[in-house]
Amino acid sequence: MRFAYFALSLFFAMLMPLRLAAFEIEDSIFYPATDGLVTLQIISTADANVFEPIILEFQQNNPTINIQYVIASSTELMKAIHEEAAVFDLAISSAMDLQTKLANDGFAQTYTSNATETLPGWAIWRDQIFAFTQEPAVLIISDAAFAGMTPPETREDLISLLRDNPEIFDGRIGTYDVRISGAGYLFATQDSRNSDSYWRLTEVMGRLNAQLYGGSGDMIRDVASGELALAYNVVGSYASSRLAEFPDLRIVRFSDYVNVMLRTALIPKNAENPVEAGLMIDFLAELNQRPELTELTSLPPINPAQLRENSAARPIRLGPGLLVFLDRLKKQNFLKNWVSSMEQE
């Protein structure tokens, strides 16, 4: 952490242009390298406490590369690169569909290396998008709220549990506001593909006045505080990283299916430091060789064998199929149905 707040004057000088941009950022942290000669500009959806160990370890191996780490939501990241041509060397996002659109629309550079060639074919698209984690969407619950109740094993179980116990769950369910969260929209559209129960679950959550969130971190916090009894479709890596801090939390991985999101990186077309960006992609592609970083970050690296062993795992695959729900009319209709289900009178 000592690097994060070093040279405050430089930090604020670099932050000012970002605040003038129309896209919104959540935070910006400057990590000076030991012998910094060039600054790698990264825009990312990953929280700093999750990604910082990776940055610091990367700089141990690359002591001439400073890093400016800008945190934004997936929709704001998309806006920054696709609409505003903001200059970043690397874009890291949990919204696989939006990353695919960036590449499909010509906003990503092609990159290959020995490290990227070790990734399985399903973790790369057109040598422009590179997956480096496989993260399940999970249910998190408060043990205190579930005292005397059996946690649900499937979505059908969850629907029944919510219907039978409105006095416990009314106003105490958290999930994404898919209108503003790119990852939330991705998980919701995949749910609608995987199960007929998705819309019934959405309707039940709507009747019970579900609280809507822009990201996993706030949902985890509110379950831990007791404000929520449960939160649906939380990014599993974020939940795992908070278990030591919040021992009352429990992670539930459904047995009917588990959506597995691939966190991805791409080099924007207008990157000023593509060579250094490639070095970071190589580093991320080899996370499976750094178990100490897996433990520190709770980010599960690409592991095909692990996915094969879990019959419930449903990896969300990179490729043009992810663009279906980004079609303007399809997205409009999906959101209309979602609002109708979630915001019932």
- Give yes or no: residues 313 and 335 share one domain: no
The torsion angles phi and psi of 335, rounded to 5 degrees, stand at -65, -35
42-85: per-residue pLDDT in tens? 999 998 988 999 999 999 999 999 999 999 999 999 999 999 99
The answer, yes or no, to whether residue 12 has pLDDT greater than 70, is no
Query: Looking at the 3D structure of the chain, how many domains does it have?
Result: 2
Answer whether residue 179 is part of any domain.
Answer: yes
Closest CA to 123 of 276, 277, 306, 274: 306
pLDDT tens digits, one per residue of 244-291: 788 889 999 999 999 999 999 999 999 999 999 999 999 999 999 999
How far is residue 336 CA from its own chain's centroid? Answer: 24
pLDDT band at 199 (very low <50, low <70, confident <90, very high): very high
Q: Is the pLDDT of residue 20 over 80?
A: no
Of 41-50, 81-90, 115-124, 234-243, the poorest mean pLDDT is in 234-243
Q: Are both 206 and 301 inside the same structural domain?
A: no
Per-residue pLDDT, 344: 63
Establish if 2 belongs to a structural domain. no
Q: Are residues 21 and 46 in the same domain?
A: yes
Q: What is the C-alpha separation between 64 and 228, in angstroms, rounded?
A: 45
Same domain, 93 and 113: yes
Q: Are 146 and 232 part of one and the same domain?
A: yes
Q: Residue 312 gets which letter from DSSP?
A: T
Show the domain range for 243. Answer: 136-259+324-342
Are both 146 and 120 inside the same structural domain?
no
d(CA 5, CA 1): 8
Residue 282 lies in a domain: yes
Which pLDDT does position 154 carry in this prediction? 96
The pLDDT value recorded for residue 243 is 84
pLDDT at residue 192 greater than cutoff 80: yes
Same domain, 91 and 14: yes
Residues 6+ apart with CB under 8 A from 123: 130, 131, 132, 262, 302, 318
Residue range 143-162, pLDDT digits in tens: 999 999 999 999 999 999 99
295 vs 89, higher pLDDT: 89
Whether 177 and 149 share a structural domain? yes
pLDDT single digits (tens) 153-188: 999 999 999 999 999 999 999 999 999 998 999 999
pLDDT at 10 over 90: no
Does residue 280 sit within a domain? Answer: yes
pLDDT in tens, 123-148: 999 999 999 999 999 999 999 999 99
Confirm whether 232 is domain-assigned: yes
Q: In terms of domains, do 70 and 86 share one?
A: yes
Reported as a pLDDT band with limits 50, 70 and 90, residue 343 is: confident
Q: Is 2 exposed, middle or buried (0-12, 13-18, 19+ CB in 10 A)?
A: exposed
Q: Is residue 3 part of a domain?
A: no
Instruction: Specify whether 98 is located in the same domain as 37.
Output: yes
How high is the pLDDT of residue 287?
95
Specify the amino acid at residue 113. S
Same domain, 298 and 213: no
Pairwise CA distance, residues 89 & 85, whole Å: 12
> What whole-number distance in Å separates Cα of residue 110 and Cα of residue 194?
32
In a domain, residue 1? The reply is no
What local confidence, expressed as pLDDT, does residue 133 receive? 96
83 and 100 both lie in a single domain: yes
Measured N-to-C along each axis, helices 182-194 and 96-104 cross at an angle, to the nearest 10 degrees, of: 100
Q: What value does the mean pLDDT of the chain take? A: 91
Is position 223 within any domain? Answer: yes
Reply yes or no on whether the pLDDT at 113 is more than 70: yes
User: What CATH number is given to the structural domain containing 181?
Assistant: 3.40.190.10
Q: How confident is the model at residue 21 (pLDDT cuts 50, 70, 90)?
A: low
